[in-house]
Structure 1
């Protein structure tokens, strides 16, 4: 089909008209033994794909209801089912030569929802004036959607506000593998951690779980590859790493590549000294308490780190002689 600036003639023609239009998370089980109190039940997390998703070769426009994300007011559904949004997504996958990939065809429904949700989050948070009240797009938003994918691709996948029918793990895995997607951002919703802790998502470089109701450090020991972890605005009081302890081997599972941990906006009172065992190469730790904020260089001597923690009234616990020697050796 002839094209104009990467778009089919059909899409270009549609850009001159006003068009109607219309993403969140859940996960399945993983290796860590303990479960957090806010995780959904096993029944809620038992599937990472909807029945029939494996053979779904239809376009997103044929989906009457969102299957990944709960959408009670149908605003996202209106956005996702817009024929032009569907065509923009289709053409994008054609341009990057993945439209006929076996894994794409097998998971096409979920992949289209994930991409549509990322676009929807972009419009809601930065271009809300381009959305009608029912979630449909105004005329000028279509070119904006094309521009977004052309400029940013799918480097960052976003979900905000929406809850999940199921976690689209297969879709995320495909996008991470084939699009060099390196950031997953989930915010202001309720999640279960277990399915995130999957080696299938190990190529993520950055994970943001912001305002998702976490009350303790999530066990993400299978994600050994990522470097940046943002856990802002949750309900974590004690940074403990018991869930990382492998009781049989009597050692802690580690995340050797993590170098940046942001815990601002939590209700922090203490941090376990085993943080150096679990995150041996952590360089930057950011904390806050009672509107006081501190950024800690974890390569500093232990005494300096204690002083930094004292500035915001946070205690370093579990520091026996063995862990102190371990801390000092890793710092040096």
Structure 2
């Protein structure tokens, strides 16, 4: 009974039912601490086979296969729109042709990672061409079906054309995801895109993420990393991202910019030598590790903070911080403060 595709509203209702009760892999506290994650699923099936539409037979076997199918996906889709977008034959063809024209398909790990790569790329296009476009959203910021979908639930041709034009113009320099939960962290897919598709910027917002997994040498060619509103409570440990120039950590809940992880024995006094901009706007920062100049060694390095804006860390940093009542804390001083609190 394959081939009988359900309308988007039926799919949406089905997915909402299926999503109830699935366990979350990551907590909202996405700090440097290693968090548990499942290994990335692999498959040798074609993209067409891996992303078929939901059919009547799928519903009949839902109790058997829905959980495993959900866990093989990178992202959790609660309303079904992204799934419908990703499974659209025009999108599949578009992404398949793009990847085929790159060196990525020649990589030895491509076959085992292509499903995750495809989904990551589809999410980037969905975010850039639909999620962030006012013309496709209603007054509350939700997808406006009348503007995006045909009566049969398929995406309108003008939407597909917009996606195609975007991919042609901007390529995959930025990989983005916002407002979607991860089933697992697709590190291998990101690494292959960075190495083979000139991806230099990873943008993640409003999504809990295993930040420790991002400290991968396979992502060392990234020049920009955005972790906006992802629940960070402390500075991420990213010493393997040696080419990183811009780190955006806006709208998290970091109170103390603690850099101890860069001085631990296992890291060997690592630095981020090329970082020139660290943005912490929207964080309740009250303390900054005084060793900040030892970690971020570029002389043009600037930090951005509420109330004081962006300024050089290699100038008279203390005067700037005093104006907004932020302390520069030496390591021993921090330990004494913690001891006083415990006593």
Please state which band the TM-score falls in when normalised by the shorter chain.
0.7 to 0.9
Question: For residue 77 of structure 1, what is the aligned residue in structure 2?
Answer: 83
Q: 1:95 offset after TM fit, Å?
A: 3.1
The answer to whether structure 1 residue 274 and structure 2 residue 263 are counterparts is no
Cα 1:279–1:170 shift into 2, 3 Å: same
The answer to whether structure 1 residue 55 and structure 2 residue 47 are counterparts is no
Return the alpha-carbon distance in structure 1 between the equivalents of residues 256 and 159 of structure 2.
Answer: 44
Question: For residue 305 of structure 1, what is the aligned residue in structure 2?
Answer: 317
Structure with the higher helix share, 1 or 2? 2
Q: 1:214 offset after TM fit, Å?
A: 0.3
The answer to whether structure 1 residue 295 and structure 2 residue 285 are counterparts is no
SS of residue paired to 1:243? helix
Cα 1:40–1:146 shift into 2, 3 Å: same
Deviations 1:23-42 (A, max 9, x none): xxx999xxxxxxx9545997
TM-score, structure 2 normalization: 0.74
CA contact (8 A) 2:228 2:249 kept: yes
Q: 1:222 offset after TM fit, Å?
A: 1.6
Question: For residue 140 of structure 2, what is the aligned residue in structure 1?
Answer: none
Matches within 5 A, 1:172-321: 172-247=190-265, 252-281=269-298, 283-289=300-306, 292-300=307-315, 304-318=316-330
Deviations 1:124-172 (A, max 9, x none): 3432534653986322011111111110000000010111111111111
TM-score, structure 1 normalization: 0.76
Matches within 5 A, 1:108-123: 108-123=114-129
Unaligned stretches of 5+ in structure 2? 1-6, 13-23, 55-68, 137-142, 333-343
CA contact (8 A) 2:31 2:210 kept: yes
Q: 1:105 offset after TM fit, Å?
A: 2.5
Question: For residue 37 of structure 2, what is the aligned residue in structure 1?
Answer: 45
Aligned length: 285
Unaligned stretches of 5+ in structure 1? 1-18, 29-35, 321-332
Question: For residue 20 of structure 2, what is the aligned residue in structure 1?
Answer: none
Return the alpha-carbon distance in structure 1 between the equivalents of residues 34 and 275 of structure 2.
Answer: 29
Deviations 1:256-310 (A, max 9, x none): 1212111111001111111111111163433333xx232112332xxx2211112
CA contact (8 A) 1:27 1:193 kept: no
Please give the root-mean-square deviation of Cα atoms over the aligned residues, in Å: 3.2
- Provide runs of 4+ in structure 1 moved above 6 Å: 19-22, 40-43
Deviations 1:35-87 (A, max 9, x none): x954599784142x11xx14243335337566000112222111111111111
Cα 1:311–1:287 shift into 2, 3 Å: farther
SS of residue paired to 2:180? coil
Moved more, 152-161 or 257-266: 257-266
Cα 1:68–1:298 shift into 2, 3 Å: same
Return the alpha-carbon distance in structure 2 between the equivalents of residues 237 and 282 of structure 1.
Answer: 25
Return the alpha-carbon distance in structure 2 between the equivalents of residues 27 and 102 of structure 1.
Answer: 28
Return the alpha-carbon distance in structure 2 between the equivalents of residues 191 and 106 of structure 1.
Answer: 23
Cα 1:167–1:88 shift into 2, 3 Å: same
Moved more, 210-219 or 188-197: 188-197
